[in-house]
Amino acid sequence: MRPVYAETFEVCQHQCMANGDGNGWVLCDRCQTRHWGLHGAAGLLLVRTDLVPACVLLQLRAAWTHGGGTWALPGGALDSHETPVLAAAREAWEETGINPDDLTFKAIFADDHGNWRYDTVIAHASSDVDAYEANAESADLRWVPLDEVGYFDLHPGLRATWPELIEHVKASLQS
């Protein structure tokens, strides 16, 4: 996983409209499993900086979804016209009702599999953002202290990258 930094991240709510051309499965060259997202996928790793300790938002995936019954980040397939930040913001808005205008986008971390990639977008919220189960993909949402995330039954992709992601989240809290 490698960090990608940008000087500014701009997300407007009117850009959070899905056209769905990214929906579909890709057979991964690296791990020989299926991944969701014809153009890759992105998720929002949202950090509440006003809580002590800092907490991240986890989503319990509905049983019928990819990775159903596991805890993950709000996220999903990129559409062809989207950047990872736009896709992560759109997916979080669709799944949790979080307004992208309430967030400060900090960094993007890419888990590149060659013919498929998952981008984790780290963002901060300094106040109680209004997160709720906005569609049927979410069975539950929880704010979880950073050091407790590993105790949850995580989606396999998040479980594999969490040890590195937690370090990047901690670094983002210092900047």
Tell me the pTM: 0.85
Q: How many structural domains does the chain have?
A: 1
Q: Which helix (H) or strand (E) holds 165?
A: helix 156-174
- The whole-angstrom separation of Cα 73 and Cα 111 is 14
Is pLDDT at 163 greater than 50 in this prediction? yes
Residue 24 CB neighbour total at 10 angstroms: 12
Instruction: Work out the mean pLDDT of the chain and round it to a whole number.
Output: 86
What are the pLDDT digits (tens) for 59-69?
Answer: 999 999 888 99
Q: Are 58 and 152 in contact (CB under 8 A)?
A: yes
What is the pLDDT confidence band of residue 165, given thresholds at 50, 70 and 90?
very high
What is the model's pLDDT at position 22? Answer: 87
pLDDT digits (tens, 9 = 90+) for 55-94: 999 999 999 988 899 999 999 999 989 999 999 999 999 9
Report the CATH number that the domain containing residue 56 is assigned in CATH: 3.90.79.10
Does residue 127 lie in a domain region?
yes
Domain of residue 49: give its range.
Answer: 3-7+20-174
Q: Is residue 29 part of a domain?
A: yes
